[in-house]
Structure 1
Amino acid sequence: MAGSNKRIAKGQELADITTNPPEGTKVKLADESNIFIWEVLLDGPEESVYAGGHFKLKLVLPTNYPFKPPVLSFETRIYHPNVTNDDKGSMCLGILRSDEWKPPNQIRAVLKMVRDILVTPDIDNAVEGAIAELYKSNRKWYDKQAKEWVAKYAGKK
């Protein structure tokens, strides 16, 4: 396996994160035969409008990881300014941008940032402008919408 894949091939990050996951997360391979695609189960943080929700995310590692960032998307629909409001669920997170990603970064830090952004959205880097505007202009209505989506899409299965 190429040198750039050693961190993946050795399974160091995966082993660490599955045995000692960040708070409110569970991580496993989506398919045991493919170490590049991970499934992340994320509990909505208690201090957020997503509390009680259970979200499934897909994390795809590029073949040249850790030199290029992973791609993270919500498979569970979520009403959030930093996640596209479509079936792709793409996430806008600074650390995942190619110009901000650094090889020493780890998936653990990415998952912690995802939880943090559920508590405090990054309005200045929103991918859903209308949701960001609602967050700023009518927080009560935003909270209501987000909670309704949690109940509809992210309830206990």
Structure 2
Amino acid sequence: MAALPKRIIKETERLVSDPVPGITAIPKEDNLRHFEVFIDGPSSSPYAGGHFSLELFLPDDYPMCAPKVRFLTKIYHPNIDKLGRICLDVLKDNWSPALQIRTILLSIQALLGAPNPDDPLANDVAEDWKKDEKKAIETAQSWTKQYASAKLQE
């Protein structure tokens, strides 16, 4: 395997030495471009109390192209589909090589705190959100308890 670029080494060291509150990102030993990520649901969101597992992969052309990130924990969110793919501008058209892994993870955590049903990836969830936001939030809370409770993952 080719040596890791200095940039990835630096970013990884910073993630480990100066972690973002509520976010853990650990590179896998067999592939240092592949990270196990855990994000805690923001306290003021329907995902509060949730401990979400994600995977993040840095393609060979990173940082010229965005990391690949997806949720492994099942989540009820208008911008995250059943496969865990995330609709987030910085992972697509608004990606910039100036962004870092930690910036992306913070953006994903912020997305949990501010679902956007007007730019959906999960159209059914977005429709529910628009029709009856209170009920959609209750569903998100119940899925969080069911699938993302920290007790399940210990």
Partner of 1:91: 86
Note if contact 1:81-1:126 (Cα within 8 Å) is conserved in structure 2: yes
Number of paired residues? 150
Aligned with residue 52 of structure 1, among 49, 53, 56: 49
1:22-45 superposed Cα distances (whole Å, 9 cap, x missing partner): 22111101x213111001111111
Unaligned runs of 5+ in 1: none
Structure 2 residue matching 1:13: 3-state secondary structure: helix
User: Partner amino acid for 2:71?
Assistant: F
Deviation at 1:133, TM superposition (A): 1.7
1:102-134 superposed Cα distances (whole Å, 9 cap, x missing partner): 111111111111111111112222101121122
Partner of 1:28: 26
Q: Compute the RMSD of aligned alpha carbons.
A: 1.5
Structure 1 residue matching 2:135: 3-state secondary structure: helix
Identity %: 39
Alignment of structure 1 residues 59-74 onto 2, 5 Å: 59-74=56-71
Q: In structure 1, how many angstroms separate the alpha carbons of the residues matched to 2:112 and 2:143?
A: 14
- After superposing on structure 2, the runs of 4+ consecutive aligned residues of structure 1 that deviate more than 6 Å are none
Q: TM-score, normalised by structure 2?
A: 0.91
Q: In structure 2, how many angstroms separate the alpha carbons of the residues matched to 1:110 and 1:45?
A: 15
Unaligned runs of 5+ in 2: none
User: Partner amino acid for 1:124?
Assistant: D
